[in-house]
Amino acid sequence: MMTAIGQQTAWIKGAGAHCANEKPSARQVWRLVVLGPPGVGKGTQAELLCERLGVCHLSTGDVFRACRSLPPQERAPAINAALELMQRGELVSDQVVMNIIRERASCLHCGGGFLLDGFPRTFAQAIALDALLQQEGLTLTAALNYVMNLDEIVTRLAGRRTCAACGASFHESRRPPRVLGVCDSCGGKLCQRDDDRPEAVRVRMQAYQASASPVVAFYEKRGLLRSIRAEGLPEEVFRKTMSALNGTILS
């Protein structure tokens, strides 16, 4: 299954574009949503799940990052609307976000399945996604909810350092650079983002809980929620994830 951003043409560009990975898969098809606050390692788990299960990683963050570099005429209408709102410093509404997903509905039919990352973020988005999947004749396998104690999240994010030049990410204790304060990749200066400071992280977590709690409850009510403790090494968390998915461990 090809999941590199450059090969996800339909996901990046939206309506009318096609990927090279649309053939049906011979193995079990997983259709997953990944939930969890910043700092719990969702990105790492998404990479592992896509690699091991063969699912296509559908990240809304990838769409926004990639589309910023595309000329406006190559972007689908909904992403243009979202980028215009962001440039004005306004919030992107649930309706606009849902329009972005609808423009990419063909990706939900990927033969190897999908993992939605960064969506849904609100109760309204979860309701709209449920309706879209029903309309497309698709069934969600599970919603993976990664959970961690607040103090651990604060520690993880407060120790994160980002290169001001190339954007590479390091951590003071978990992934330190070879030279303190210097990026291994390009030699740029490593900085702490303002929103990674402990006091800012706690405010972000409050905002996350307010929007995410109804989403978690939505999937729990439907019997789709799989909550996974996110402490430990990535492989340990992945094993817990696969155990939560009906105990199926793929080699």
240 has catalytic annotation: no
Sign, Cα dihedral of 178, 170, 168, 34: positive
Residues in the chain: 251
Single out the residue of 41, 6, 28 nearest to residue 240, CA to CA.
Answer: 41
From the candidates 102, 121, 229, 239, give the one annotated as an active-site residue.
Answer: 121
Q: Kindly state the tokens that stand for 200.
A: 């800012």
From the candidates 13, 75, 104, 160, give the one annotated as an active-site residue.
Answer: 160
Locate tokens 């030699």: which residue? 187
From the candidates 52, 102, 204, 229, give the one annotated as an active-site residue.
Answer: 204
Q: Kindly state the tokens that stand for 232.
A: 């430990």
From the candidates 23, 174, 175, 193, give the one annotated as an active-site residue.
Answer: 193
174 has catalytic annotation: no
What 3-state DSSP class applies to 229? strand
193 has catalytic annotation: yes
Single out the residue of 18, 10, 19, 241 nearest to residue 250, CA to CA.
Answer: 241
- Residues 15, 76: contact at Cβ < 8 Å? yes
From the candidates 13, 31, 42, 156, give the one annotated as an active-site residue.
Answer: 42
Cα 183 to Cα 78: distance, rounded to the nearest angstrom: 36
Please identify every residue annotated as catalytic.
Answer: 42, 121, 160, 193, 204
